[in-house]
Amino acid sequence: MKYTIIKILNSGAFGTVYEVIGEDKNRYALKEVKNLDIINKQRFEREIGVLSQLNHPNIVKIIQWNIGGDPPNFSPYYIMEYLDGGSLREDMDEKSNQRHLFEIKWTINRIILPVCNALAQAHSANIYHRDLKPDNIMFTNPSKAEIKITDWGLGKDVNRESLALTTATGEIGGTPGYCSPEQWFAYEIIDGRTDIFSLGVIFYEMMTGMRPPAYNDTMKRKSVDPPSKYRPTISARLDDCIMKMIELKADNRHRSVWDLVSEVETLPDNY
């Protein structure tokens, strides 16, 4: 199927996303690599490989792709479903400007649990997102009733050898402020707990309007106040859940996303 470009939706260091219309008159999004080098091509191929394996209502669906040739003369792209509800980051920025916070029940039911369910399928396939942040959580439409996780360019089954190679090439990946310490410093094997850390930072930020203090290269950070300090209506159990998600040591977090879901689903109605 042929596509006609309508406009640029987003452009970053890695690639550009366009709104396009297919021959079937439906809207889609086209993503292409922006910086044509070997590392970006590998990341792009990795994202296509991940998305072609996953099929979940909360993970963006890939429809068509073209890997392209070898750099610098290659034009890789893929076509994905069109999401026109904006990103969670845009929603968070709007709330911050208005000095508002997200409603707790809405956050849990519309963001946290859907993200957990999507991650559960990915983790079952030994795929870890590794760059979970509000920018990569998109609403499917303006009603903001459903989300999908995007940007799986770092998603892969990571072991110590591959992570060491990634570090050596300078492409550690992850986003400062959301990336887990074990990924950032590449000192242990990555598993689902690194995505739990990133989701915990998002959860904390949605509840308080601020991110937890950053850690340093000695694995220390300023004392983290529980969310209830900034929002007294938050219960002790919700406090404990969020604080556990953002523990610096992976062993102190939830063992898996399934454990996290079990805890969130049993929180009292007053949160």
Would residue 251 show up in a list of annotated catalytic residues for this protein?
no
By the 8 A CB rule, do 85 and 143 touch? Answer: yes
Please give the C-alpha separations between residue 154 and each of 53, 86, 129, in angstroms, as whole numbers.
14, 22, 6
The residue annotated as part of the active site, out of 91, 131, 195, 239, is 131
Catalytic residues: 131
